[in-house]
Structure formats: C-alpha cells, structure tokens
Amino acid sequence: MEENTFDPDLIRAIFKLVWEKRSAERERHQLSENEAEAGPSTTKRSRLLTVNGNALKLSCELLRVFVAEAIQRAAAIAEAEGSLKIEATHLERILPQLLLDF
C-alpha cells in the first residue's frame, strides 16, 4: 500500500454520494411499486451511509490502482497514436479489458 493514495475523506464523500443517489433511486422505485397507500417517506432509514475505516483505506488503494492502471493503459494507447493527451477514445479502447482485470 502506498502512502500516496486517495484522500479517504474524498472517497468517503464519493461513496456517500453514490449511496444516497442509489437509495433515492430505490426509494422512488419502491414508491412507484407499492405506492401511495404507504405514503411518502416510507423507507428513509434503510440507507447505508457509513464505512469501516479499514474498508475505506482499502477502497482508496483499490481505486488508486484502478485509476493509475487506466491512465497508464490509456496513455500507452495515446502515445502510440502520437497524441499528447489522453482522450476519451483512448480510454474506451482499454476499458473493457481493464474492467475485466479488476
């Protein structure tokens, strides 16, 4: 594990954001499912909003490795193409394999 990894706070914030979005989505889903009889604000408490410190650290590292690998691979493609900038297309080229590798 490297020292120079992502800031855990940042990652936690991102996680939280995603969780909130997800749960909101789920709620909307459920709402339209079993709906109005239950009324609004039925499942507000069922959200996962915390993460264990170690898990967070690990997540940071995983993300770092992932991002680094993505960049390196995309950079290889971009370089081969003679481009000085990694463009979206470069990323797309390596994305499927990258995702499978992780």
Per-position x/- string for 62-101, each x denoting binding to other proteins as judged by CB under 8 A, each - no binding? ---x--xx--xx--xx-xxxxx---xxx-xxxxxxxxxxx
46 or 72, CB closer to other proteins? 72
45 or 84, CB closer to other proteins? 84
49 or 68, CB closer to other proteins? 68
Cα angle 85-1-51, degrees, rounded to a multiple of 5: 95
Q: Give the contacts of 10 (CB within 8 A, at least 6 positions apart).
A: none
Q: How far apart are CA 23 and CA 45, in angstroms?
A: 10
Q: Are 98 and 70 in contact (CB under 8 A)?
A: yes
Q: Are 71 and 91 in contact (CB under 8 A)?
A: no
Q: Is 7 in the site for other proteins (CB under 8 A)?
A: no
Q: Which residues bind other proteins (CB under 8 A)?
A: 24, 28, 31-32, 35-37, 39-40, 65, 68-69, 72-73, 76-77, 79-83, 87-89, 91-102
